[in-house]
Amino acid sequence: MTEAIGVTGLVKSFGRTQVLNGLDLHVEAGEVHGFLGPNGAGKSTTIRILLGLMRRSGGDVRLLGGDPWSDATALHRRLAYVPGDVTLWPTLTGGEVIDLLGQLRGGLNRRRRDELLDRFDLDPRKKARTYSKGNRQKVALVAALASDAELLILDEPTSGLDPLMEEVFRQVVLEEHRRGGRTVLLSSHILTEVEALCHRLTIIREGRTVETGTLASLRHLTRTTIDAELVGAVNGLGTLPGVHDLRVDDHHVTFDVDTETLEPALRKLIDAGVRSLTSKPPTLEELFLRQYAR
Amino acid sequence: MTGTGTLIRLILRRDRVLLPLWAILVALIPAGYASSFKGLFPTAADLAGYARVSMSSPGFIALYGPLRGDSLGEIVAWRAGFFPVIIGLISLLTVIRHTRTEEEAGRTELIGSGIVGRHAAFAAALITTVGANLVLFAIISVTMIGQGQPVGGSVLLGLSFALSGCVFAALGAVTAQLSGSARTARSIAIVVLGVAFVLRLAGDVDTGVSWLSWVSPIGWVQHVFAYGENDVLPLLLALLLVAGLVVLGSVLVSRRDVGEGLIAARPGPATGTISGPIGLAWRLHRGVLTGWILGFAALGLVFGGVASSIADLAADNSDLAAILRRLGGNSFLVGMIAVLGLIAAAYGVQAALRLRDEEATGHTEAILATPVGRLRWLASHVVFSLLGPAAALLVGGLLCGLTAGGHQLATVLGAAAAQLPAVWVLTALTVLLFGAFPRQASAAWGAVAACFLILMMGAVLGLDQWVLDLSPFTHVGHGLSATPFVTLTAIAAVLATAGTLAFRHRDIPSA
Ligand SMILES: Nc1ncnc2c1ncn2[C@@H]1O[C@H](COP(=O)(O)OP(=O)(O)OP(=O)(O)O)[C@@H](O)[C@H]1O
Ligand SMILES: [Mg+2]
């Protein structure tokens, strides 16, 4: 597979403050890639560099085989962007904005535009000034999704959408992806959305990539919570390297365990004789909370 | 009204430089006039001579109003006759900036959810602006008394200027309630100010319609005749108007929702036909362009009409002092065209600052993420800021020349065309600021103000020639001539090119 986005060792400083410190981001063509990180981690800044709006201070950036700064206009024919903070021209109607952006990108699919307006339940005749935050967001989404761009760059695209509309967004992205094999870079704070849509994801913190891979491989990084009733006493559990927060209360033990240590830990339990056992699977939430806070 | 105090402190904090700067600067000028008139006209006979010439000069009367006496105080008060317009303009801009602009940016909602009454923003903006005008009042009175002028006249002069500020501050507070957009609120208020000025001008110059100056708040302020008749009645009228506008504004505040205006937005087309960045720029600029062209048309008609009702311009002005010549030669019309040139520069700067507006609101980011290049986007707005003022000047000059009488047309059009490169220099300076120092782009207004001060007051204040030379308008000939035209155009081209280069290499949005 070819690479749609290849960012290696990206550095960006604003004056004296360095915001990106050697960030890596690799997105394969045809995948939906989640881009996560706490507030101020540098997601929007990275995206602006990918769009040639900002100049990198160092590192290597490739976008659809070109250089995002010097080949900006040519590359922009092949992508559509939904900014993190959607603002529209207050005196234009939603329909006018959608058609304007479509026209600038070299035309948009009218049938698809009308279908999307319908599904997102958006009235295109209203002046942008009078749209709510969610409706402004929908205008930008319809404009991007109705284009035939091969790459969609979406910066927190569902912020402000109600749960129903979030669901529509998910369906549309899945359909789009199934139909055309479009590449999507999706920056988001909504974990269920990332879980539902993304094949791979990259987590950044303070301008640095801290984790990248498929959802399954990231799950490996998480801990399982074990709660067991034992027949006898368990020995040596506390000394296993991947066991955390161990509590032993007579014959009752609870602990968290890293995925690699799961097997040896279970052996110890079996040695002591198991009366009952519950295990809670790792949640992405926990993974993120740990990655964000580390 | 709860929370007004907090909001006042917030405004003072945000405007801690701007507010004192304009109030003090403007307030010091009358005393400056007094001391330089003392130098220019040392004896009473000199003063009387100057007053006699000025009283009969339609150009002077148009700009500064009528003059009835020849004491130093009266001449200073008269010569500062354009101040009510400046003070009114700054005051209304300040009030709208702290009411509707804030609300449009969504910050009022943020504050409104705290313990702040619904009239707090309205009251805070008005109180601060009235406060600034009181400072202005105090400084004018004290410095004029310091120049040895009578106390009564000095107090009335300060008071009349401060009240003109208050009238237009209150007007701004009302128009801020009418529309959801600060731009519209500003436009309405500025049009009213312009109409007030033009009514006063027409009433003063053309004695057949002298009642017109009594329809205009600016006319009232001038009919105080400080140091002469010292008439208080017009000030009472102004005070009543302020009270009326404040009541009207506060009623409007309680009648409407946060974020909305009284003029409701109507639904528009479901599909768009805007094509390309230039089509978008046309949509964004056309309203303002139409407004300015209508404004210039009105000014042209008034100036031309006034000129035609004056029998012999040239003869009247043949012995005028150098001061009038600075204003653009010895003809009333050419002087008025110089004023039109400055107004056109204000339009050019306003249109070019749209670039910064678009960037700051995130619109530029959306456009530049499409295949539109930076140069194309920049050009789409620069075209309007260069050609818009040209169109406005052309319309103004044409109507002025036609109403003044056919034989004047060529002169007037030539004079208008001669202003254009100077206008472009200021537009191009704005483009340079936008490209290289985007956060300071609105400093271009400072340049317009400086040119204005130099044109209106440079000669009276006796500024050095090199200071006068800083303004491109100093170099404009009285008619169309090649050297200044080409030189100024070249300077504008260099500035604009430098701005474009800087813009192509910087981050968007800039920090
Ligand atoms: N133009 C700028 N000048 C200076 N600092 C900036 C600029 N733009 C962004 N920053 C800083 O860079 C950091 C990263 O910002 P960025 O907007 O990329 O974060 P983000 O990951 O998108 O956060 P969020 O999840 O809140 O959207 C922040 O600390 C921000 O203050
Ligand atoms: Mg962001």
Q: B-chain residues within 8 Å CB-CB of A104?
A: 276-277, 367, 370-372
Of all protein residues, whose CA lies closest to atom 16 belonging to ligand 1? A42
Q: What is the ipTM of this complex?
A: 0.85
pLDDT of residue B312: 42
Task: Single out the residue in A186, A218, A250 at which a domain terminates.
Answer: A218
Residues A139 and A282 in one domain: no
Is residue B68 within 8 Å of residue B222, measured between CB atoms? no
Q: Angle at CA B486, nearest 5°, toward B483 and B490?
A: 135
**Longest CA pairwise span in chain A (Å):** 75
Is residue B85 within 8 Å of residue B192, measured between CB atoms? no
Q: What are phi and psi of A183, to 5 degrees?
A: -90, 140
How many domains does chain A fold into? 2
At B211, the amino acid letter reads: W
Least Cα separation, residue A80 to chain B (angstroms): 7
Residues A181 and A43 in one domain: yes
Distance between alpha carbon A77 and the CA centroid of its chain, in Å? 24
Residues A47 and A153 in one domain: yes
Residues A44 and A177 in one domain: yes
Question: Which residues, 6+ apart, have CB-to-CB distance to B401 below 8 Å?
Answer: B300, B304, B333, B408, B409, B410, B411, B412, B413
Provide the residue range defining the domain that includes A279. Answer: 222-293
Say which ligand is closest to the CA of A53.
Answer: 1
CA B263/CA B250 separation, integer angstroms: 17
CATH number at residue A95: 3.40.50.300
Residues A128 and A85 in one domain: yes
Q: pLDDT tens-digit profile of B115-162?
A: 567 788 899 999 999 999 999 999 999 999 999 999 999 999 999 999
Other Cβ atoms within 10 Å of A289 Cβ, number: 12
Tokens, residue A189? 């704070």
Q: pLDDT tens-digit profile of B401-437?
A: 888 877 778 888 999 999 999 999 999 999 999 999 9
* Nearest alpha-carbon partner for B399 in B324, B306, B468, B302: B302
Backbone angle region of A75, left / alpha / beta, with phi > 0 → left and psi within -120 to 50 → alpha: alpha
CA B473/CA A21 separation, integer angstroms: 50
CA B332/CA A100 separation, integer angstroms: 48
Is residue A142 within 8 Å of residue A123, measured between CB atoms? no
User: What one-character DSSP code corresponds to residue A274?
Assistant: E
Residues A274 and A212 in one domain: no
Other Cβ atoms within 10 Å of B186 Cβ, number: 21
Task: Single out the residue in A218, A249, A267 at which a domain terminates.
Answer: A218
CATH number at residue A271: 3.30.70
Using CA atoms, how far residue B318 sits from A8, A73, B331, B467, in Å, is 76, 61, 9, 27
Task: Single out the residue in A218, A248, A269 at which a domain terminates.
Answer: A218
Say which ligand is closest to the CA of A45.
Answer: 1
Q: Structure pTM? A: 0.84
Confidence of residue B330 (pLDDT cuts 50, 70, 90): very low
Minimal Cβ distance to A99: which of B271, B277, B361: B271
Residue of A nearest to B269 (CA): A125
Tokens, residue B428? 């191009």
Residues A57 and A108 in one domain: yes
CA B80/CA B76 separation, integer angstroms: 6
pLDDT of residue B328: 40
Residues A159 and A268 in one domain: no
Look up tokens 């400080």; give the residue. B226
Q: pLDDT tens-digit profile of B52-106?
A: 888 877 778 888 899 999 999 999 999 999 899 999 999 999 999 898 888 877 7
Residues A103 and A240 in one domain: no
| Three-state SS at A141 | helix
* Residues in chain A whose Cβ is within 8 Å of chain B: 14-15, 48, 51-55, 72-74, 76-77, 79, 81, 83, 85-93, 95-101, 103-106, 123-127, 129-130, 140, 153
User: What SS3 string covers B167-235?
Assistant: HHHHHHHHHHHHCCCHHHHHHHHHHHHHHHHHHHHHHHHCHHHHHHHHCCHHHHHHCCCCCCCCCCHHH
Q: pLDDT tens-digit profile of A28-42?
A: 999 999 999 999 999
| Three-state SS at B359 | helix
Query: Are the Cβ atoms of A98 and B272 closer than 8 angstroms?
Result: yes
> Quick one: average pLDDT of A2-9?
94
